Amino acid sequence: MSSFDVVIIGSGPGGYVSAIRCAQLGFKTAIIEKYATLGGTCLNVGCIPSKAMLASSHHYEELQHFADHGIEVSGKVKVNLEKMIARKQAVVDQTSGGVKFLMDKNKITVFEGLGSFESATQIKITKSDGKSETIEAKNIIIATGSKPSSLPFIKLDKERIITSTEALKLPEVPKHLVIIGGGVIGIELGQVYLRLGAQVSVVEFMDRIIPGMDAGLSKELTKVLKKQGMKFYTSHKVQSVDRKGKTVTVKAENAKGEIITLEGDYSLVSVGRRPYTEGLNADKAGVKVTERGMIEVNDHLQTNIANIYAIGDVVRGAMLAHKAEEEGVMVAEILAGQKPHIDYNLIPGVVYTWPEVAAVGKTEEQLKEAGIAYKAGSFPFKALGRARASADNDGFVKILADAKTDEVLGIHMIGARAADLIAEAVTAMEFRASAEDISRMSHAHPTFAEAIKEAALAATDNRALHI
């Protein structure tokens, strides 16, 4: 029986990054992946392919506005969805191959098959052909990720009533895509197909889209997407989803108790994700799993069994690839006797629409609920020279700071390159910067990042310079 210091079950961002860090720290490491490709949901049917589709559709949308920049394109421009999806798959394959290269480089043993516990130190690996082998580990890290959730009364046929996985490989651009759920995944994929010519309707149970983020970001994104043609049905509770031939009918109840009916040729069910622990046989190792499939861990990501840890989507907290990565590194370093720490308040959240949405720290709603006195400063992108030069005028940056100490408590932004700009916000908050600290840092001109400096000035005695 092969024996290892650390075995990781699952090769998503949390799993493979944890494996690399374990190997760097001198542990004999193995990783188990049930699929033929490494990278988990994020790399294969999540973050990477969706961003590839968003990029391709964004290029197509930009073509419609080339004339504004003095670029005249003659002839008919059309979408070749098959080629677009093929390019997406090429990006996925290349990235997955990169993960395999990193496993080889770091001398990490890769096992292909379903990993399930035989005991607290032994894992059985069942391959697709039914053959199996058992390996032994001093320490085990569960990184099995998550799967799309649904509603009990919805029957997913994965043809017309689909999840995000099927939405990444549709055979055609929908005529009318009805999206159930106005969270990050639904809105991102909705914008992809909106750009490509689909009518897109979003049905959301809460009173606004991206409900987990600051209300100001939700309001601005709704305004921009409505301008682009997306339709929203917020405060609507879905009652039924039925398919007849090529038609999908969605019925939902609004706040007044009225039933509305939407008919489309596809319906994307995007109501969140759930931890994936099926086939893990955690009970054989004595690991506690909640009714919802989530693995219980302490502050060190250790389960109730001392040598077994869990990270990423399968444990509490935001289901984000970069959160899983940080947790994977943290566990590896704990096993090496180090004392790493994660500030979960400073894990940024991003929506990769255009304009992009990004945030870190507390929202205004959270500060009000906690009774924390704060001050806010905002600055609109339309007041930036770089934004006007690039014709990316939508959005703003908002900085929330403690009313007494001026320490930054939250930074929320919507606009061009927000997904990249949020790193500055995280860095500042990691070092407990004040709004005045940021306002006194030199920002290159002209850049989108100047909006952060101006918002900090606005939060510092309302001293914004360019508005």
DSSP secondary structure, 296-325, as one string: P--TTSB-SSTTEEE-GGGSSS---HHHHH
State residue 130's pLDDT score: 93
β-strand partners of 29: 6
Opening angle at CA 222, ends 165 and 408, nearest 5: 95
Q: What are phi and psi of 88, to 5 degrees?
A: -55, -45
pTM of the entire predicted model? 0.96
The beta strands (E) that lie in 13-98 are given as 29-33
Helices (H), 266-338: 282-285, 321-335
Q: Are 163 and 268 in contact (CB under 8 A)?
A: yes
Q: What are phi and psi of 430, to 5 degrees?
A: -60, -35
Q: In 10 A of CB 175, how many CB atoms? A: 12
Q: Which residue type is seen at 206? A: M
% the chain with pLDDT above 90:
97
State residue 349's pLDDT score: 98
Measured distance CA(245)–CA(154) in Å, rounded: 16
Which of 65, 69, 445, 466 does the annotation list as catalytic? Answer: 445
Measured distance CA(186)–CA(269) in Å, rounded: 8
CA distances from 285 to 15, 278, 308 (A): 19, 14, 9
CA distances from 244 to 161, 216, 247 (A): 11, 39, 5
β-strand partners of 148: 273
State residue 75's pLDDT score: 87
Measured distance CA(147)–CA(165) in Å, rounded: 10
Opening angle at CA 381, ends 375 and 385, nearest 5: 125
For the record, the structure tokens of 272 come out as: 């969140």
Mean model confidence pLDDT for the chain: 97
Q: Which residue type is seen at 383? A: A
- Reported as a single tens digit per residue, the pLDDT across 36-61 is 999 999 999 999 999 999 999 999 99
β-strand partners of 167: none
Judged against a pLDDT cut of 90, whether residue 93 lies above it is answered with: yes
Establish whether 445 is a catalytic residue: yes
Measured distance CA(192)–CA(50) in Å, rounded: 9
State residue 291's pLDDT score: 87
Q: In 10 A of CB 234, how many CB atoms? A: 18
Strand, helix or coil at 6? strand
Of the candidates 142, 145, 125, the residue with the CA atom closest to the CA atom of residue 133 = 125
Average the pLDDT over 20-25 and give the result: 98
Measured distance CA(396)–CA(388) in Å, rounded: 13
State residue 84's pLDDT score: 97
State residue 463's pLDDT score: 93
Of the candidates 236, 257, 260, 261, the residue with the CA atom closest to the CA atom of residue 249 = 261
